Structure 1
Amino acid sequence: MFTDTLIVGAGQAGIAMSEHLTKLDVPHVVLERDRIAERWRTGRWDSLVANGPAWHDRFPGLAFEGLDPDAFAPKDTVARYFETYARKIDAPVRTGVEVLSARRNRGRYGFTVETSAGTYEAQRIVVATGPFQRPVIPALAQGDATVMQIHSAAYRNPGQLPEGGVLVVGAGSSGVQIADELQRAGRKVYLSIGPHDRPPRSYRGRDFCWWLGVLGQWDQEIAQPGREHVTIAVSGTHGGRTIDFRALAHQGITLVGVTKALRDGVVTFENDLAGHVARGDASYLSLLDAADAYVASNGLDLPEEPQARGSLPDPACMTDPVLRLDLAQAGVASIIWATGYATDYGWLKADAFDADGKPRHQRGISSEPGVYFLGLPWLTRRASAFIWGVWHDARHIADHIVTQRKYLSYRADAQRRP
């Protein structure tokens, strides 16, 4: 089977890529080993909702049907949205087809792609598998079988865990939402917090997604040094609320610093909790300052919100931090590692990666001709890993593909001349 462009993955990146290639009349096929948007279906916990409002976290060509624009779409609704979108654009998606390997052809252009449904020949490949491919659990978790340990990718709901307390490691959106759900379900919860940004859910009547847009922060092309992998603590649960770690502590969650070691049923933590919370507060206040300055300079009629700068008193777990936790004595029976994901490109046999296995690319265009990457954080800008951001990145890659097709077409025309 031959196609001009083969797209691997039918999540938000693959569907966006297909739309732009279709508009530009580029023959292509999208291969998906499971179903469209499978990670939204089975790779998340039951109560997950999108972290951005429905008016923002979508493609330009279709709104969420039957959902208030300011609401936060449940995960199954998001999955159905991408299914609907794929039908709308008549995307050539083939589900249940796993890509096993892709190799550059020798002596001729393009790639040979082996799949569970046979062999494909493609002029180029778009890797649209995203950043959430392989759950990462730190090495320190290995060798301790005293409690149940799972990654947040395997967590579904509180009933799945054994009776007892839970240690949640990770202060990004996933870790915070899971910790909050478990505490509301009556569990004793410890939440291990590391570096994070903590934007307001909304401020002066506008969602933080709006603020990042008008302030130009979604279009930042380079992350601040050392901040490339800092998590964002934001949530759309309970109608969308600003994450406040002090409030979570007063709610009943025990905050602890970065998890340092796990050995023989005892966990130790760094004495860095107060510093991480303070830096998160600073990121929060800096966005409020930028928003206030924008309102003033543009004469906007947006209500002031002085209460947004208020702060609860530091809880006991911050003033007298827990540095050592005997899991048995504390009644902790489970650990959830909300520690992120790694990419897995073992199937792609091409000179497209650096010594650490990370893609070498410029705005998604690989150093290996004919290979493209889409859906990765900071691919072209801060918004790249978000639903609407990946749509714009896909347009840039599609334009590059069309340009390359023109060059190849010229070569073919030249060969036909006398």
Structure 2
Amino acid sequence: MSSEQTEVLVVGGGQAGIAMSEHLTRGGVPHIVVERDRIAERWRSWRWDSLVANGPAWHDRFPGMEFDIDADAFAGKEQVAEYLAAYAAKFDAPIRTGVEVTRVRKNEGRPGFRAETSDGAIDARYVVAATGPFQTPIVPAVVPADAGIHQIHSSAYHRPGQLPQGGVLVVGAGSSGVQIADELRASGRDVYLAVGPHDRPPRSYRGRDFCYWLGVLGKWDAATPAAGAEHVTIAVSGANGGRTVDFRRLAASGITLLGRAGAYEDGVMRFAPDLARNIAAGDANYLGLLQEADAFVERNGLDLPEEPEAHVLGADPECVTDPILQLDLAAVGVTTIVWAVGFGADYGWLEVDTFDERGRPRHQRGVSAEPGVYFLGLPWQSRRGSSFIWGVWHDAKYLADQIAIQRGYLAYDAAHPTIHEPALVVSGAAR
């Protein structure tokens, strides 16, 4: 069977695939990027209408291009998608949209891989899985489909009017859950919010955004956590111009806070008695960052305004001091559950031996256990910032360097042995 030939096949045309393509293009490495939808499609269709980036425009971007908005503003989802498409056009990224990869397997008796796609077969020496962390929406099998409750994942939520009339239970208090709950309450809905363990940074402090503080304090470069702790729920929001997520404020607005969602039976949802503990741990995370920021200001002699009021926390609301441990959904008028509990990975198309028993990639900084296969856009791939736009750019550069090194070895000629510098090998397009 005939197939198209390329050096590197990049699967995914979002921020990870675009970053990878830029570095390969700079090095003169022949490659193809395939995307089953449009460029940055998940920013367009897997987000609610009012979503904005969680970091300001000066921070959440690629190094080579700024957003065309105020640097301290938070880009809307369509602005992010358009930014990524414009960035790809800037260096004429070889992205083919509307092409789905259905299978990738190793070639037999020769190097490289064969990818079966909706547009024909592609043979590549290297494959980069740049599909990112948001692949399969997780909807826990807790509430039966025939329970009479409308259930959707946060990625399918777009606006309050899309939901049936009635109250809403939002499960998950990361960035998505708190913003969706806040929007629903503002629209007049009765809202219940199940809150699990989380980090809760200040939106800004002493005139600097939390992205600045995580940067100068070295927290974006924190080492990859131990297995099982890869995902940290961060309660942060750029909505309404950006403000600190405050669960006490959410409760004061009329949202009823609950502990982690548990079992469901005969119309009743149960919740863990951990709400106060989760709120307290988030407070400790918040106050700890303020203290580190204060120490940094003093140590470096910075002239930044003090904010003593930021250290003062209000009294816990009744829903925290006297938590609800079970809720008859029909009795309180809840007709919808929004599951904001994250995503799972789906690499069923990648038929190589580099996954653990849970289907997670085995890799080191994106270099997989299967020679020639790389992953990009994973949470904590190399550091805390890996799944952010700027973080994935730096991870992509590392992977491009690793591919260059491998190309250098493959370019070895026994008759004329020489040491190949990675940059020279890349630019020479050696095979």
Give the shorter-chain TM-score range: over 0.9
Aligned to 2:183: 181
Aligned to 2:22: 19
Q: CA deviation at 1:311?
A: 1.3
Question: What secondary structure is seen at the aligned counterpart in 2 of 1:328?
Answer: coil
Q: CA deviation at 1:133?
A: 0.3
AA partner of residue 65 (structure 2): L
Rounded Cα–Cα distance in structure 2 between residues aligned with 1:411 and 1:109: 17
1:353-388 CA deviation, whole Å, 9 max, x = no partner? Answer: 112211011110011000000000010000100010
Q: 1:225 to 1:205 in 2, by over 3 A?
A: farther
Alignment map for 1:12-411 (pairs within 5 Å): 12-65=15-68, 67-223=69-225, 227-411=229-413
Matched-pair contact (CA < 8 Å) for 2:262–2:270: yes
Rounded Cα–Cα distance in structure 2 between residues aligned with 1:50 and 1:72: 5
Q: 1:225 to 1:369 in 2, by over 3 A?
A: closer
Q: 1:201 to 1:412 in 2, by over 3 A?
A: farther
Question: What secondary structure is seen at the aligned counterpart in 1 of 2:412?
Answer: helix
Rounded Cα–Cα distance in structure 2 between residues aligned with 1:230 and 1:26: 35
Rounded Cα–Cα distance in structure 1 between residues aligned with 2:413 and 2:265: 63
Rounded Cα–Cα distance in structure 2 between residues aligned with 1:374 and 1:209: 22
- Per the normalisation by structure 2, the TM-score is 0.94
Rounded Cα–Cα distance in structure 1 between residues aligned with 2:147 and 2:353: 40
Q: 1:411 to 1:349 in 2, by over 3 A?
A: farther
Q: CA deviation at 1:24?
A: 0.7
Q: CA deviation at 1:223?
A: 2.4
Aligned to 1:8: 11
Rounded Cα–Cα distance in structure 2 between residues aligned with 1:6 and 1:364: 15
Rounded Cα–Cα distance in structure 1 between residues aligned with 2:296 and 2:151: 46
Rounded Cα–Cα distance in structure 2 between residues aligned with 1:336 and 1:230: 20
Matched-pair contact (CA < 8 Å) for 2:224–2:381: no
AA partner of residue 64 (structure 1): F
Q: CA deviation at 1:228?
A: 3.0
Q: CA deviation at 1:264?
A: 2.0
Rounded Cα–Cα distance in structure 2 between residues aligned with 1:413 and 1:90: 38
Aligned to 2:420: none
Rounded Cα–Cα distance in structure 2 between residues aligned with 1:398 and 1:122: 15
Question: What secondary structure is seen at the aligned counterpart in 2 of 1:196?
Answer: coil
AA partner of residue 166 (structure 1): V
Rounded Cα–Cα distance in structure 1 between residues aligned with 2:81 and 2:227: 34
Give the CA RMSD over aligned residues: 1.3
- Per the normalisation by structure 1, the TM-score is 0.97
Question: What secondary structure is seen at the aligned counterpart in 2 of 1:123?
Answer: strand
AA partner of residue 103 (structure 2): S
AA partner of residue 11 (structure 1): G
Q: 1:402 to 1:18 in 2, by over 3 A?
A: same
Q: CA deviation at 1:324?
A: 1.2
Question: What secondary structure is seen at the aligned counterpart in 2 of 1:389?
Answer: helix
Question: What secondary structure is seen at the aligned counterpart in 2 of 1:3?
Answer: strand
Q: 1:125 to 1:329 in 2, by over 3 A?
A: same
AA partner of residue 74 (structure 1): G
How many residues are treated as equivalent by the alignment?
A: 414
Q: CA deviation at 1:411?
A: 4.7
Matched-pair contact (CA < 8 Å) for 1:20–1:398: yes
1:65-84 CA deviation, whole Å, 9 max, x = no partner? Answer: 1x100000000000000010
Question: What secondary structure is seen at the aligned counterpart in 2 of 1:124?
Answer: strand
Rounded Cα–Cα distance in structure 1 between residues aligned with 2:413 and 2:128: 23
Rounded Cα–Cα distance in structure 2 between residues aligned with 1:180 and 1:399: 44
Runs of 4+ in 1 over 4 A off after TM superposition: 224-227, 411-415
1:269-306 CA deviation, whole Å, 9 max, x = no partner? Answer: 11110000000000000100110110011101111100
Q: CA deviation at 1:239?
A: 0.2
AA partner of residue 189 (structure 1): V
Rounded Cα–Cα distance in structure 1 between residues aligned with 2:154 and 2:317: 26
Matched-pair contact (CA < 8 Å) for 2:14–2:40: yes
Overall identity of the aligned pairs, in %: 65
Q: 1:414 to 1:142 in 2, by over 3 A?
A: farther
AA partner of residue 54 (structure 2): N
Question: What secondary structure is seen at the aligned counterpart in 2 of 1:141?
Answer: coil
Matched-pair contact (CA < 8 Å) for 1:4–1:124: yes
AA partner of residue 183 (structure 2): E
Q: 1:401 to 1:224 in 2, by over 3 A?
A: closer
Question: What secondary structure is seen at the aligned counterpart in 2 of 1:377?
Answer: coil
Q: 1:177 to 1:194 in 2, by over 3 A?
A: same
Question: What secondary structure is seen at the aligned counterpart in 1 of 2:213?
Answer: helix
Matched-pair contact (CA < 8 Å) for 1:197–1:230: yes
Matched-pair contact (CA < 8 Å) for 1:144–1:264: no
Q: 1:226 to 1:409 in 2, by over 3 A?
A: closer
Q: 1:88 to 1:376 in 2, by over 3 A?
A: same
Question: What secondary structure is seen at the aligned counterpart in 1 of 2:411?
Answer: helix
Rounded Cα–Cα distance in structure 1 between residues aligned with 2:415 and 2:163: 64
Rounded Cα–Cα distance in structure 1 between residues aligned with 2:302 and 2:400: 38
Rounded Cα–Cα distance in structure 2 between residues aligned with 1:246 and 1:227: 27
Q: Larger deviation: 144-153 or 283-292? A: 144-153
